[in-house]
Structure 1
């Protein structure tokens, strides 16, 4: 029961309930209209609800794309079936060959959601159409087209969703993941080695998943604004561009934080490279990580500006000076402190660019 409640809370969101309600309405309207289509198509009204169903996506442009891709796939399937009928009556061999050809055509990535309908339409026309294949094909296409149009109309007139808030939430979570990672690494440097907590050293998947979720949410937000009558305000488009810019910054910083994680994990627990962090570098490295975490927190709080970089710049200068003093004869490329300094510098550059140009354009 507890797991069911968790699943419901994570799955049944407001947007999902709205989509479910619109889909139910579209299917009902399509069925009603499908039963009133004149001509031979009135014998196949059950395909209209199917057309409405396949066209209902969370975003309007997603619905347009899926609907028309489905109709294209269906048309290709009908053409394949027609080719078989022209050659003669369908039989086991010709039906099998036609369906096989449909599967080959379905391998075209551009068909998108319509790929699976190529062999399906071929099979339905040849088997269900029979002697009335022409009437069946026309009715099938007309009813599916009607359902797709009903789905598009309902999707665009009834609260077409704008998913920008979801994207901003994902970006916020991504920043918090980075902040926690940097703070945990700085804390580990101040503990007796090896540190008691080492979960931060194995968070590569968490970092990657965070970026992937942000990328998907921002793409969804961008899609939801295309051809959406609710997205007419310039401020909405500006916020989408800002989200795309934020996504790029978080992606870059995640790469650098992951590099720092690998370097420090190798220093503490030994890794493929024989590298060691001198005692006098431990504190400057920890200060750098803490200052970068503070910058990300200011970004999260909406307070990041040109004057926010003073502490981080000072920490980076102190680390650079400590690197020079620590060992002038050590190979600089194998110094883990130098690697951390380079990644910190890259993070600061990325954040400065974000301050100067939030959209990244």
Structure 2
């Protein structure tokens, strides 16, 4: 019973660390805590600030982002927008008693200032702060401005502290998991194409020919996750305590290789689907080339699978290279018969060549350059 509970708990931790749902759950819990702490502390603020305790939880809320650097950026941008808005409202107050015209002009000016991209998420608080100070603050606008600013600053500070001290978010595991899924998707694509080539002609299964969009989407998701992981490690003590900043670099390098490989696999998919179901009789595969092409794609897929498992060695490259050489030899023999075009088969062989070069550059050469 204890072992079952232990395994379940470990699986939950892996899910919480690597999945977007788990990260969102952690963010929700931390936000709830930050809002509660800010509300408690707000009541002890000195001077006029204790009259406006409800702004502290708001400050905590706007500063809670999935990454620590994102929280810092959002908090500072929010306070910057708030202070600019208060300054614009102060200008109206110095000019005289606020009225419909002056308030409207100040809000309009706030919207113009909010167009500065450097304000980021703080842009919305510029006109809002102007409006709040002039309308909600009213005759007590001075004390309201001070209380508003101090309580928001308190909330932002609480949010940053909570985000820093309690499992500062680190999205490296999620990025590496997506990279692994992307590799497995490409391996599956190569294997499906390889099987289709040795089926009865034309192949009955067509699903592999319609996955170009899925491959594009997967690569885009991986790139987004890699950048998110890089953002999550900035200023994050967990990244340096566990030397995990190196993992982010590796994820980016894996991503770059994956993009190159995905491009060539998409090209293979489009070439073969056009050859199989197209109407151009001049662009057909010689029957004798189907089997060696299938074996070549299978060999490249096996190499990618070993890359995903971290077991890729030079012998795996040698096996894939041998299968590619056999395909090249058969393509040359078929071309001498003059009855079929060499172009489709040559395109597939060339794509396989580029895939091998990309993988060799990433796996073997980089491994050889690692310090002993």
The TM-score with structure 2 as length reference comes to 0.85
Among 270, 292, 299, the residue aligned to 1:284: 292
Task: Tell me how far apart the structure 1 counterparts of residues 267 and 173 of structure 2 sit (CA, whole Å).
Answer: 30
Alignment of 1:150-161 (within 5 A): 150-161=158-169
What corresponds to 2:137 in structure 1? 129
Among 85, 103, 107, the residue aligned to 1:99: 107
Is 1:354 the counterpart of 2:362? The answer is yes
Among 305, 320, 324, the residue aligned to 1:312: 320
Report the aligned-residue RMSD. Answer: 2.9
Alignment of 1:112-151 (within 5 A): 112-151=120-159
What corresponds to 1:230 in structure 2? 238
Kindly state the Cα deviation for residue 82 of structure 1 after the two structures are TM-superposed: 3.0
Kindly state the Cα deviation for residue 359 of structure 1 after the two structures are TM-superposed: 12
1:218-249 CA-to-partner distances (Å, cap 9, x unmatched) read 22222222222222246422222212211211
Kindly state the Cα deviation for residue 154 of structure 1 after the two structures are TM-superposed: 1.1
Question: Greater shift after overlay, 216-225 or 261-270?
Answer: 216-225
What corresponds to 1:3 in structure 2? none
Judging changes above 3 Å, is the alpha-carbon distance between structure 1 residues 11 and 160 closer, same or farther for their aligned structure 2 residues? Answer: closer
Judging changes above 3 Å, is the alpha-carbon distance between structure 1 residues 87 and 192 closer, same or farther for their aligned structure 2 residues? Answer: farther
Is 1:212 the counterpart of 2:217? The answer is no
The DSSP-based 3-state class of the residue aligned with 2:244 is: helix
Task: Tell me how far apart the structure 2 counterparts of residues 202 and 261 of structure 1 sit (CA, whole Å).
Answer: 8
Aligned length: 352
Tell me, yes or no, if the aligned pair for 1:245 and 1:360 is still in contact at 8 Å. no
Tell me, yes or no, if the aligned pair for 1:260 and 1:339 is still in contact at 8 Å. yes
Task: Tell me how far apart the structure 2 counterparts of residues 21 and 192 of structure 1 sit (CA, whole Å).
Answer: 56
Among 188, 192, 202, the residue aligned to 1:194: 202
Q: Which structure 2 residue ranges, 5 or more long, are not aligned?
A: 1-15
Tell me, yes or no, if the aligned pair for 2:264 and 2:354 is still in contact at 8 Å. yes
Tell me, yes or no, if the aligned pair for 2:285 and 2:341 is still in contact at 8 Å. no
The DSSP-based 3-state class of the residue aligned with 1:153 is: helix
Task: Tell me how far apart the structure 1 counterparts of residues 279 and 146 of structure 2 sit (CA, whole Å).
Answer: 66
Judging changes above 3 Å, is the alpha-carbon distance between structure 1 residues 12 and 216 closer, same or farther for their aligned structure 2 residues? Answer: closer
Is 1:53 the counterpart of 2:61? The answer is yes
Tell me, yes or no, if the aligned pair for 2:299 and 2:320 is still in contact at 8 Å. yes
What corresponds to 1:258 in structure 2? 266
Question: Greater shift after overlay, 94-103 or 163-172?
Answer: 94-103
What corresponds to 1:36 in structure 2? 44
Tell me, yes or no, if the aligned pair for 1:214 and 1:247 is still in contact at 8 Å. yes
Question: Greater shift after overlay, 181-190 or 131-140?
Answer: 131-140
The TM-score with structure 1 as length reference comes to 0.88
Tell me, yes or no, if the aligned pair for 1:54 and 1:67 is still in contact at 8 Å. yes
1:179-212 CA-to-partner distances (Å, cap 9, x unmatched) read 1111111111112233211111111221122112
1:257-314 CA-to-partner distances (Å, cap 9, x unmatched) read 1111111111112289973323233223222211111111111221112222012111
Judging changes above 3 Å, is the alpha-carbon distance between structure 1 residues 80 and 118 closer, same or farther for their aligned structure 2 residues? Answer: same
Task: Tell me how far apart the structure 2 counterparts of residues 93 and 275 of structure 1 sit (CA, whole Å).
Answer: 74
The DSSP-based 3-state class of the residue aligned with 1:232 is: helix
Is 1:322 the counterpart of 2:338? The answer is no
The DSSP-based 3-state class of the residue aligned with 2:216 is: helix
The DSSP-based 3-state class of the residue aligned with 1:115 is: helix
Task: Tell me how far apart the structure 1 counterparts of residues 95 and 242 of structure 2 sit (CA, whole Å).
Answer: 57
Tell me, yes or no, if the aligned pair for 2:49 and 2:150 is still in contact at 8 Å. yes
Tell me, yes or no, if the aligned pair for 1:265 and 1:271 is still in contact at 8 Å. no
Judging changes above 3 Å, is the alpha-carbon distance between structure 1 residues 11 and 308 closer, same or farther for their aligned structure 2 residues? Answer: closer
